Amino acid sequence: MITKPKGTVDITGTDAKIWKYVEEVIDSVMEKYNYTYIRTPIFESTELFHRGIGNTTDIVTKETYDFIDRGDRKMTLRPEGTAGVVRSFIENKMYGNSDLPVKVYYNGTMYRYERPQAGRNRELSQYGVEVLGSDDPFIDAEVISLALNINSMLGLKGNKVHINSLGDQESRDNYRRALTEYLKPHIDELCEDCKARFEKNPLRILDCKVDAENAILKEAPKTIDYLNEESKKRFDTVCEYLDLLQVEYVIDPKIVRGLDYYDHTVFEIHADIPGFGNANVLGGGGRYNKLVEQLGGPSTPCVGFASGLDRLVMAIKESKIDLPIRDHLDAYIMYVNEEEKKYAIYLSQELRMAGFVVDTDYGNKSLKAQFKQADRMKSTYYILLNSEDLKEGLITIRNSKTKEEDKIMMEYMIYYFDEHLIDQEIEEDSCECGHHEEGECHCHKHHE
């Protein structure tokens, strides 16, 4: 038997409905913020990721899926979304757009060869945003607010951002010297990866998972203590804008992010998730003002973030959030002979084209089996066909809960469902806690 590769998953059934709902919420929020969808290739030139993400990062040194294609070209399955978006920005000369900044979002699969664990697969899905062409601290705050608002709309609680600043190049250089001097006498007490990072990029040591609780790293110098006046003022402005947007944030000097292209603002999105312990980070990002230039484009300030959908869906399930996901049919059409089957085919097409969710039997089951099938599919109505009624243009519609029946002319079927299903939706959407006045209701469905 052929099985799926290690580190990949099949998404089916209720899980698939949760995924689709999450994606619909993301699309809806992005539209309100005026971010447009961008789709970039799943594989790109290996050089793009080595130059963009950085040769000292774990992603490039350990985790990329690299291959040589039939044209003897070095290719890599994308491990993250930003580098591809920046490449597209440059290649398509979006920097010439008179309406800068360019605000885009993506949603797709990424590939990292790492040890599979809960919420972290080798084939992973991410959504993210990139804003290219604005250095305004306001856009940093907007991007953070957008990420938190999506999590809130999905019902997650305790949403807040942990934020830090790496500062400009001068600030980074000052901090790098201080960190190097601090770590030098202790480097033999850290893991082998940290020893290698010390020579190439000491900031990566702060992102180490092995030594995360090591007292040496906990007592390391803090980036915000080495910001020059301009960088400090910028960071204070970002925090001021977050206050205006009523975003809860924590200044966290430990955050440096795992990619080399960040400068100034860096952040992680947190939520309170039962069972997640300390691993409650649902995304992160920051500002990367040098990346476009590094990849051959003009100097362009940028900021963005990404969030893993695998982890987001897992957080929703762990939090036992009751999402408004459709799990029922509007109608199930039943028949017992070939003549009735032809009408079932015709009527199912008419109802579907009118916007109703309809199914019928495809295996010539008995009427009893069709009733069981309709109930498993949670059909609101049964449409019962019989040859004698059909000769007179009549069909029988039965409410699956009340068992009440109406025999109507077939030509009035659409009007019937328009009226009865709307009435039922209003009844089902009525307040569960007994309060109908705005501001009094405490039901989850009215606060999503």
Amino acid 185: pLDDT: 85
Amino acid 433: pLDDT: 43
**Pairing between β-strand 123-132 and β-strand 263-272 as defined by DSSP bridges:** unpaired
- Residues of the chain falling short of pLDDT 50: 430-448
Instruction: Choose the CATH number for 13-168+228-318 among 1.10.10.1100, 3.40.50.300, 3.40.50.720, 3.30.930.10.
Output: 3.30.930.10
> Helices then strands (H, E): number in the chain?
15, 16
CB atoms within 10 A of CB 104: 23
66: β partners: 76
Query: Nearest-CA neighbor of 361 among 395, 391, 320, 331?
Result: 331
Amino acid 220: pLDDT: 85
Amino acid 201: pLDDT: 75
- Contact by Cβ (8 Å): 142, 33: yes
Alpha-carbon separation of residue 273 from 281, 334, 404 (angstroms): 10, 45, 44
Kindly report whether the peptide bond that precedes residue 101 is cis, defined as omega within 30 degrees of 0.
yes
Contacts of 382-387 with CB under 8 Å at 24 or more apart are 382/331, 382/332, 382/334, 383/331, 383/332, 383/333, 383/334, 383/347, 383/413, 384/334, 385/333, 385/334, 385/335, 385/340, 385/343, 385/344, 385/347, 386/336, 386/340, 387/337, 387/339, 387/340
Amino acid 271: pLDDT: 93
**Superfamily for 332-428?**
Anticodon-binding domain (3.40.50.800)
- SS3 track for 181-198: HHHHHHHHHCCHHHHHHH
Per-residue model confidence as pLDDT tens digits over 215-224: 787 788 888 8
Amino acid 437: pLDDT: 39
In our burial notation (b when 16+ CB lie closer than 10 A, e otherwise), range 284-312 reads bbbbbbbbbeebebeebbbbbbbbbbbbb
In our burial notation (b when 16+ CB lie closer than 10 A, e otherwise), range 270-279 reads bbebeebeee
Please give the Cα distance from 18 to 127 (Å, whole number). 15
- Tokens 């900031």 locate to 203
Domain boundaries defined on the chain: 13-168+228-318, 332-428
Query: Nearest-CA neighbor of 101 among 51, 145, 140, 52?
Result: 140
Query: Which residues have C-beta within 8 Å of that of residue 208, sequence separation ≥ 6?
Result: 190, 191, 193, 194, 197, 217
Neighbour order of strands in the sheet with 102-111: 36-37, 102-111, 123-132, 302-308, 281-287, 263-272, 157-165, 249-251
